[in-house]
Amino acid sequence: MGEGVCVCVCVCVCVGGAGRCPRLPEPPGYPAWVEARQSQWGDLEPQEKMSCAQVSWDHESSLCQESARTGRAIGPSIPAEGGERRAARTTTFRWTTRASAFRAARAARARGDLQGSLHACCALAPPGSMMVALGNRGARRLRFLLSALKSEIYGPFARPAATFRTSVTSAKVAVNGIHLHYQQTGEGDHAVLLLPGMLGCGETDFGPQIKNLNKKLFTVVAWDPRGYGHSRPPDRDYPVDFFERDAKDAVDLMKTLKFKKVSLLGWSDGGITALIAAAKYPSYIHRMVIWGANAYVSKEDEMIYQGIRDVSKWSEKIRKPLETLYGYDYFAKTCEKWVDGMKQFKHLPDGNICRHLLPLVQCPTLIVHGAKDPMVPRFHADFIHKHVKGSRESGGASFLDKSYP
């Protein structure tokens, strides 16, 4: 079993005069000099005009000081062959670049283009700032990271939230003779179903994913399997085919919600359910990511399961949310039933849960495993990777580490 972690990227961008290096002393003629330069940027805001004028003055002043120190004529205030023209060209380049960057940033904000805004801000960053230190390669990587984060990034360059649905719908729908609870958010063309683990539901297992997955690209559905979360009644039971039953419930739920094809993100028991669904309904499953899943039960697994039978011995961090959701009695009783339900697979040939179905999986599959996962040994991820054709495996990822229970 593993646990997903939301990664946050903090970016500090200096614009206008803020965050610049200490300014050079201002001579008596400086205000008039600035006023004259500001007239060249009629479409900019006052603060932006001042920023362009200041960066030009700083550059020219630096040239003059260098000229006085070395005796070489390199500044416009010290006429010399070629020096004034060269200084004027470099100064003009600086303020025109800055003015263009302001215009580009404004245009990017207007159309909600986060990457375009970031690119413009790179040009506005002062020497020595983080953006300049990143260089082109770093800026490209930062833009890539930002593009992978949620669309509703709150800041001056954010797209208006009203342009797509960010609210979460919570409802129940009749599926296979019971009422299944689900949460839904986003309006993207790519439907994604989140499948929780043992005793879990969308509320307990997928809060960060429901909140942070891109609402423009994806329509996200997190379901509560029968007997879990708010899909009660009935109480949860564990016949030998309960994973197959969950897979059918999950697929039928998405069909009832009118999705033509879905991708699956499943962890722990949800990963097992996802594997079975992908194998039995290959034309309906687009892509799949699983973590903390196993296709059979070994003797080592049996010992691990027995070790968590008594929920009173779980850590409070893991126990408290489930106890709040279910009440202690239902929580403790269902955990014991889960342990017995999993141990029954040990009595089947090769401890089989779904190992016979793995070769039938056709969709692109990513298998993730936490290096310190105390519930599912690494060999299970390797086994699934070996038997799911074309799958990719990511192991030892520290962000999946979990103390459980």
pLDDT digits (tens, 9 = 90+) for 268-295: 999 999 999 999 999 999 999 999 999 9
* 405 prior amide bond cis, ω within 30: yes
264 is a domain residue: yes
53 is a domain residue: no
Q: How confident is the model at residue 176 (pLDDT cuts 50, 70, 90)?
A: very high
Q: pTM of the entire structure? A: 0.60
316 is a domain residue: no
Please report, as a single letter, which amino acid is at residue 289. Answer: V
Q: Name the residue with higher pLDDT: 403 or 330.
A: 330
The pLDDT mean for the chain works out to: 75
The boundaries of the domain holding residue 186 are: 168-295+353-395
> In the prediction, which pLDDT does 229 show?
97
251 is a domain residue: yes
What percentage of the chain carries pLDDT values higher than 90?
Answer: 55
> In the prediction, which pLDDT does 371 show?
86
**If you average pLDDT over residues 395-400, what whole number do you get?**
37
Distance of CA 32 to the CA centre of its chain: 50
pLDDT tens per residue across span 187-221: 999 999 999 999 999 999 999 999 999 999 999 99
302-322: string of b/e by CB count within 10 Å (b at 16+)?
A: bebbeebeebeebeeeebeeb
Q: How far apart are CA 126 and CA 356, in angstroms?
A: 61
Q: What's 362's domain CATH number?
A: 3.40.50.1820
70 is a domain residue: no
Angstrom CA distances, 45 to 55, 169, 254, stand at 16, 42, 51
177 is a domain residue: yes
Question: Which of 255-259, 337-341, 373-377 shows the lowest mean pLDDT across its residues?
Answer: 373-377
Number of structural domains the chain divides into: 1
Distance of CA 152 to the CA centre of its chain: 11
Range ranked top by mean pLDDT from 103-107, 139-143, 357-361: 357-361
4 is a domain residue: no
